[in-house]
A and B are shown apart, each in its own frame.
Chain A
């Protein structure tokens, strides 16, 4: 990877990518390197399904690249990418629900169990059991490390609502994991 690009800020990279010059691809690749883990983690944990997560993840970066000319200034690249990913996830879930005549439990999948970390497996399961409104905000906070105001910006909710939802999500997860956590604390 271009060492010089690694030292550029998100805004500078985005500007370089939008300029349509020779280093457009390099700039895009650097942005991909920086943000792909977080975007993929969001898609992966929010959707639960690996194939769907991959599709939405890829489409997020494709849409991001194609939108480069229409955005004058990029102030929060991470939030912008997650906003695209979130819209794609919501559209996909809406489509699945619209076409689905099947029971809800079909969508609870555990295809990536880590045999070495029982707590992590339980957390994944607990996240899948969260209602969507809590799930996405919890993932943004815990997997993407976003600040409350960024989450509020992406979701269109007030900061106070975001705080409450994160608190409720944690309560629910702790409640689901309680038997294990109690055992662990002994």
Chain B
């Protein structure tokens, strides 16, 4: 049965000082107070405590800066966020508050990276069916043209001045000359015919010049894409380029940004991950096909929460820590068609920071070719282990990584 209050004089006294005593009980209590010294003493003590509490000005006076801090954190004073204090308080400023505010940068970056990659992919390179007898794989080849005297391969078998490109189940097959010589002459006209065999378009490529150059490890394909970029090179320049490409050292340099959130979350302003403060630079060497090893260095914010005896409480920090270590990266070397030619990859990293060891796992997509510029976009999870006053703590991070790479 629930205990009730208000039966004894002492209980009634408490109700009286709180203004909660029923009128019907007041007479009884006043009578007790008249007769009972101890009860009067108790009343004096309760009122003395209350009086002292009213003098507790320290408790009733919020620090002056808190008003400004609150308004700044809410974005209600101009430029306030700059002056907002670094506290445990979540810094929320209008649009940038909450979940969406925290992911907007990585999402926007991902969208921009995807658009740029797609533009590069579909405008500068075109997937074509390899017409060589060597393989039935897709390749993406640049079309390079000389502005100087064309060099016609001695073993060129091209004799006509017309080539035909036909649509077949949405794919383009080169049905004309299947020349696989290193250098091929350009036809005057390419006629584009649809599935029914009717001519639909005729491309006059005479304006493109009189010769195409390509290395023999690439396979030339005609394209109906009117916006094939044509890079004007002298034969010597062309050879130089191909010499670089043929070097095929299997070295990849990666510059990437990291936008991730720490757990435990410290909710400091620096948790918002300014782009240029969270970066990594890596160099990888091909170990075997599809497997690279290398070194990576970088710097990153890590949210730290640990107990500090001298402060008598928990400390929240979000320092930038430099890290370095070794990584191993496995990827599917062939572009995956339904991923718009991207190559999925998985990367493991172990290393150290000033505070302690760290490990990372990254999975994502790489838009790249054997040589040259490429892009990466992925998810990254990492752990940092650190020791404070002989006690180990860990911080986990989860977020996005995005950047560019260059392969030699």
Interfacial residues, chain A to chain B (CB-CB below 8 A): 25, 28-29, 32, 36-41, 44-45, 49, 51-52, 54-55, 57-59, 61-62, 65-66, 96, 99-102, 106-107, 109, 112, 114, 117, 119-120, 123-124, 141-143, 147-148, 158, 160-161, 163-164, 166-167, 170, 173-174, 177, 181, 184-185
| Contact call B88/A59, Cβ cutoff below 8 A | yes
Q: Which residue in B6, B20, B49 is a CB contact (below 8 Å) of A147?
A: B20
| Contact call A96/B59, Cβ cutoff below 8 A | no
Residues of A within 8 Å of B50, CB to CB, are 142
| Contact call B307/A102, Cβ cutoff below 8 A | yes
The docked-state distance in angstroms from the alpha carbon of A170 to that of B20 is 15
Digitize B42-68: 1 where CB-to-A-CB distance is under 8 Å, 0 elsewhere.
101110111011011011111100110
Stretch at the interface among B11-19, B174-182, B285-293: B11-19
Q: Other than the known A142-B49, A158-B2, A166-B18, what 6 A-B pairs have Cβ atoms closer than 8 Å?
A: A51-B313, A58-B73, A120-B55, A142-B53, A170-B46, A177-B49
The docked-state distance in angstroms from the alpha carbon of A96 to that of B314 is 8
- Name which residue of chain B comes closest to A38, CB basis: B60
| Contact call B62/A40, Cβ cutoff below 8 A | yes
The docked-state distance in angstroms from the alpha carbon of A16 to that of B11 is 43
**Closest CB of chain A to B6's CB: distance in Å?**
8
In the complex, whether B196 has a CB less than 8 A from a CB of chain A is: no
Q: Which residue in A25, A99, A143 is a CB contact (below 8 Å) of B53?
A: A143
Q: How large is the interface on B (under 10, 10 to 19, 20 to 34, 35 or more residues)?
A: 35 or more
**Closest CB of chain B to A13's CB: distance in Å?**
15
- Name which residue of chain A comes closest to B88, CB basis: A55
| Contact call A160/B53, Cβ cutoff below 8 A | no
Residues of A within 8 Å of B87, CB to CB, are 51, 54-55, 58
**Closest CB of chain A to B76's CB: distance in Å?**
5
Residues of B within 8 Å of A39, CB to CB, are 62
- Name which residue of chain A comes closest to B73, CB basis: A62
Rank and list the top 3 A-B pairs by shortest CB-CB distance, nearest first. A40-B62, A55-B88, A41-B59
8 contacts between A and B (CB under 8 A): A45-B56, A62-B73, A66-B92, A106-B309, A143-B59, A160-B4, A163-B5, A181-B45
**Closest CB of chain A to B318's CB: distance in Å?**
15
| Contact call B44/A185, Cβ cutoff below 8 A | yes
Given contacts A44-B59, A45-B59, A142-B50, contact A170 B67 (CB under 8 A): no
- Name which residue of chain A comes closest to B70, CB basis: A61
| Contact call B11/A167, Cβ cutoff below 8 A | yes
The docked-state distance in angstroms from the alpha carbon of A28 to that of B72 is 13
Residues of B within 8 Å of A55, CB to CB, are 87-89
The docked-state distance in angstroms from the alpha carbon of A40 to that of B162 is 86
| Contact call B48/A119, Cβ cutoff below 8 A | yes
The docked-state distance in angstroms from the alpha carbon of A41 to that of B90 is 21
| Contact call B53/A32, Cβ cutoff below 8 A | no
Q: Which residue in B3, B10, B63, B90 is a CB contact (below 8 Å) of A54?
A: B63
The docked-state distance in angstroms from the alpha carbon of A52 to that of B5 is 35
The docked-state distance in angstroms from the alpha carbon of A96 to that of B90 is 18
- Name which residue of chain B comes closest to A169, CB basis: B14
In the complex, whether B69 has a CB less than 8 A from a CB of chain A is: yes
Residues of A within 8 Å of B55, CB to CB, are 114, 117, 120
- Name which residue of chain A comes closest to B50, CB basis: A142
Given contacts A160-B5, A174-B49, A181-B45, contact A101 B391 (CB under 8 A): yes
| Contact call B52/A36, Cβ cutoff below 8 A | no
| Contact call B307/A25, Cβ cutoff below 8 A | no
Interface centre among A58, A166, A174, A181 (most CB of B within 10 A): A58
| Contact call B5/A164, Cβ cutoff below 8 A | yes
- Name which residue of chain A comes closest to B61, CB basis: A37
Q: Which residue in B45, B56, B60 is a CB contact (below 8 Å) of A124?
A: B56
The docked-state distance in angstroms from the alpha carbon of A15 to that of B146 is 74
Residues of A within 8 Å of B6, CB to CB, are 163
The docked-state distance in angstroms from the alpha carbon of A56 to that of B77 is 21
| Contact call B18/A41, Cβ cutoff below 8 A | no
Residues of A within 8 Å of B170, CB to CB, are none
**Closest CB of chain A to B181's CB: distance in Å?**
70
- Name which residue of chain A comes closest to B6, CB basis: A163
Residues of A within 8 Å of B56, CB to CB, are 41, 45, 114, 120, 123-124, 143
The docked-state distance in angstroms from the alpha carbon of A174 to that of B3 is 22
Given contacts A51-B313, A160-B5, A185-B41, contact A62 B58 (CB under 8 A): no
| Contact call B20/A32, Cβ cutoff below 8 A | no
In the complex, whether B312 has a CB less than 8 A from a CB of chain A is: yes
The docked-state distance in angstroms from the alpha carbon of A106 to that of B46 is 29
Residues of A within 8 Å of B74, CB to CB, are 28, 62, 65-66
**Closest CB of chain B to A65's CB: distance in Å?**
5
Residues of B within 8 Å of A167, CB to CB, are 5, 10-11, 14
Digitize B74-91: 1 where CB-to-A-CB distance is under 8 Å, 0 elsewhere.
101000000000011110
B343-362 interface (Cβ within 8 A of A): none
Given contacts A99-B305, A106-B312, A181-B45, contact A148 B73 (CB under 8 A): no
